[in-house]
């Protein structure tokens, strides 16, 4: 092989292998960024049960935004006994909540409009109403009030900042935003 042929061969090898190394590095950096995003900013959780029916279905994969502002009506994920629980916020800190025997929810004396609840009921409850939600806490209820274990039970109580994962923003199956 001549001098020029070897030079072209070496240029070709360095171009191909140099490009391959760059592609591998790009893939590694991209995967690393995505893992960090889905671990620290937008974790993925799986919802189990029927406490949020009809809004959520058993087995849905949900994306949670740890950075989102949370307000009444939002669905949040939080920890309870080392399990991830998903419920809807009805009131935040420094508000007063009441649930009557018919399942009507009042926040600061105003009835909540809850189109996502099919069957209003008091359900399982051992909390005395009216209940004053402590600062930096969320009073949560399941959409399926008959079966949901939520802030109406003192065992679960209000969700404090240290138990909060974040706001549920998206479902991967079906692929849609969550409201």
Q: What is the pLDDT of residues 32-45, one digit of tens each?
A: 666 555 565 678 88
* Backbone phi, psi, residue 21, to 5°: -65, -40
Instruction: Report if residue 179 sits inside a domain.
Output: no
| 28 shares its domain with 91 | no
Question: 21 is in which domain, residue-wise?
Answer: 1-41
> What is the rounded CA–CA span in Å between residue 170 and residue 177?
4
Q: Give the model's confidence band at 29: pLDDT under 50 very low, under 70 low, under 90 confident, else very high.
A: low
What percentage of the chain carries pLDDT values higher than 90?
Answer: 66
| 68 shares its domain with 125 | yes
Of 154, 158, 142, nearest in space to 93 by CA: 158
Neighbour tally for 103: CB within 10 Å: 16
> What is the rounded CA–CA span in Å between residue 87 and residue 80?
12
Instruction: Evaluate whether 97 touches 129 at the Cβ level (below 8 Å).
Output: yes
Q: Is the peptide bond before 130 cis (omega within 30 degrees of 0)?
A: yes
> What is the rounded CA–CA span in Å between residue 165 and residue 162?
8
List beta partners, residue 64. 168
For 62-97, the pLDDT digits (tens) are: 999 999 999 999 999 999 999 999 999 999 999 999
Residue 99: give its domain's CATH number.
Answer: 2.10.109.10
The mean per-residue pLDDT over the stretch 96-103 comes to: 95
> What is the rounded CA–CA span in Å between residue 37 and residue 169?
15
| 79 shares its domain with 36 | no
| 11 shares its domain with 62 | no
Q: Cα separations (Å) of 86 from 9, 15, 29, 49, 50?
A: 60, 52, 32, 10, 10
| 50 shares its domain with 32 | no
Is the model's pLDDT at 14 over the cut of 90? no
| 49 shares its domain with 36 | no
- pTM given for the model: 0.79
Of 68, 98, 73, 91, nearest in space to 169 by CA: 68
């Amino acid at each position: 092989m001549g001098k020029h042929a070897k030079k072209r061969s070496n240029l070709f090898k360095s171009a191909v292998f140099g490009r391959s190394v760059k592609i591998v590095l790009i893939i590694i950096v991209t995967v690393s960024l995505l893992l960090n995003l889905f671990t620290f900013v937008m974790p993925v959780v799986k919802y189990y049960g029927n406490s949020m029916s009809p809004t959520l279905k058993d087995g849905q994969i949900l994306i949670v935004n740890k950075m989102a502002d949370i307000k009444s009506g939002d669905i949040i994920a939080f920890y309870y006994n080392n399990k991830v629980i998903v419920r809807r916020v009805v009131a935040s800190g420094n508000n007063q909540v009441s649930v009557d025997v018919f399942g009507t929810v009042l926040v600061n004396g105003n009835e909540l409009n809850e189109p996502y609840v099919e069957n209003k009921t008091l359900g399982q409850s051992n909390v005395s109403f009216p209940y004053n939600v402590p600062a930096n806490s969320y009073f949560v209820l399941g959409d399926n009030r008959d079966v949901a274990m939520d802030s109406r039970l003192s065992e679960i109580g209000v969700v404090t900042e240290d138990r909060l994962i974040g706001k549920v923003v998206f479902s991967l199956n079906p692929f849609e935003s969550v409201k």
